[in-house]
Amino acid sequence: MKRLITKGLMFGNLIEVSSPALVERYNRALQHLTGKTTTLSDFHIDISGYSPEVGDELGDDLYLNPNGCNRQFILLTTAQKTAPLLHIKFSTSRGILEQFITANEAQLFALTARDAVAGELANSVYEVSTPAKLFDIRKITVEADTIGAHVRDATKLAGLIDRFRREPDAWRDDLLIAEMIGLAKKTGDVTRVPIALPAMGFEQPNFWTSHFGGIYIFRALRYPGVIATLPKQSLGAVPVAPVMDLRDRNEIADWLERNELAEPIVQARGTDVAAILRQKMDFILVDAADALNLDLGSATRSDLRKIAHRLGAGLPEEFLGLAALLRWVEGAGEWPRITSEHPAYFYTLRARAGKDRDLVNMLLAELAPLDVRQMYITHKELFYASYARWSERKRQYVADFLEREYMVDRQGAREALFGPEPAMDETHRPELRDGPRPAHDLVQAVGPWGAVRGRR
């Protein structure tokens, strides 16, 4: 993993905490939330205030996420909103924290100037001992205050001021006046500079969780569904159907099509489809060559072409399917019919625009695991776990490629592969499936590569 850290591919964009004042504030917040402190004089934190160095010192990577279902957070600066979230347990957590900081940025800027802000992404579930309990998680509430309770005291002072103004004889109440003065010394003049940090609620209908090997839960769709990484029987009884696992390729393809969640990359407007296909084919060749212990050379496209010639009839089916599609894209071959049973099928898809775009791309990364670029961008937890199992050759190739081709323009690469970022309030509205389709929309009319045949 040191190679990834050096190249900025892991623990990148974390916030440095090195001043004694910030370290002291962090320790006060840490003591308040967990009863623990750190002896480190400098470390780095993510958007939630989690520090990999502190986690290593404490021997607990979940020291801010007890039971993995109610993440706590420590804010030392509003700059944390651009940092990543490490050790993700729920796919929605980072987005919720970012929206909370953005919506309250002015207040948080003022509060963190004097103290650390600590809080929790709270829900009604305190442990997830069974998969069924995940379905009780529907709304996340963000609650926060400074360690010195400035927000609570400001709310109390505002109430006392209102009482002072309403009650005719309040000016004679020495206890009331003394309490107001005491609170004002701590909060300042809340009539001129109000302090408020109201609890914010976020609906969580569709999400991924790393619990139980990884589960995708889609409830707010026309056709709900659950997709598990482990065999679906391991989930037991859950309140949403159908339940699928990654081996159910036909069922997943059918479900994606019925919900209009995915589209073939050949339909993407303004996209260099040929370049994307070639790069996917390169990744597949590297994996095949590595499995056979073949020398990658400098892993240039010319070197990989030589490897393809050496493999000959042993070329992976994923490679052959994408090669057939590439020939069609470049006008050198017939339209290939790639069914959902074909190993190349999910490599040809990307998520449609909409609020679930990133979640669907995350799922597609699991269904097309040889596309390491998509895996790194959309599913870092899976990428790091996969990286740990790769050979040194493949690790070097992938790290060099991502540093060279992705890190120089991350936003541009994401838009080229997946389209523009969806707006915060963008929603996915499935069209009615009744009635005729436009004649030119042949691919969409019959499914990406012919009608999807789901097993019933």
The CA distance from 208 to 217, in Å, is: 6
Has residue 245 got a pLDDT over 60? Answer: yes
Split at pLDDT 50, 70, 90, the class of 61 is very high
Residue 190's pLDDT is what? 54
Residue 422's pLDDT is what? 64
Residue 115's pLDDT is what? 87
The CA distance from 255 to 454, in Å, is: 9
Which has the higher per-residue pLDDT, 145 or 21?
A: 21
* Peptide bond between residue 343 and the one before it cis (omega within 30 degrees of 0): no
Split at pLDDT 50, 70, 90, the class of 173 is confident
Average pLDDT, the chain: 85
Q: At which residue do the structure tokens 């929605």 appear?
A: 92
Top mean pLDDT of 66-70, 289-293, 360-364 is at: 360-364
User: Which residues make Cβ contacts (< 8 Å) with residue 425, sequence separation at least 6?
Assistant: none
Has residue 104 got a pLDDT over 80? Answer: yes
C-alpha separations of 229 from 256, 339, 446 in Å:
16, 22, 28
How far is CA 450 from its chain centroid? 32
Average pLDDT of span 404-421: 85
Split at pLDDT 50, 70, 90, the class of 428 is very low
pLDDT (tens digit, 9 = 90+) per residue, 321-332? 999 999 999 888
The CA distance from 215 to 342, in Å, is: 24
Average pLDDT of span 324-345: 91
Residue in 212, 216, 211 with CA at minimum distance from that of residue 256? 216
Residue 452's pLDDT is what? 42
Has residue 147 got a pLDDT over 90? Answer: no
DSSP 49-66: S--HHHHHHHT-TTTTSG
Which has the higher per-residue pLDDT, 81 or 408?
A: 81
Residue 447's pLDDT is what? 42
Has residue 340 got a pLDDT over 50? Answer: yes
CB environment 135-163: b (16+ within 10 A), e (fewer): eebeebebebbbbbebbebbbbbbebbee
Residue 444's pLDDT is what? 41
DSSP 369-381: TT-HHHHHHH-HH
One-letter amino acid for residue 257 of the chain: E
User: Tokens representing 241?
Assistant: 């159907």
Around 228, how many Cα atoms within 13 Å sit in the side-chain half-sphere?
21
Residue 440's pLDDT is what? 32
The residues that bridge with 43 in the sheet, in sequence order, are 17
* 370, 373, 375, 379: CA torsion to nearest 10: 170
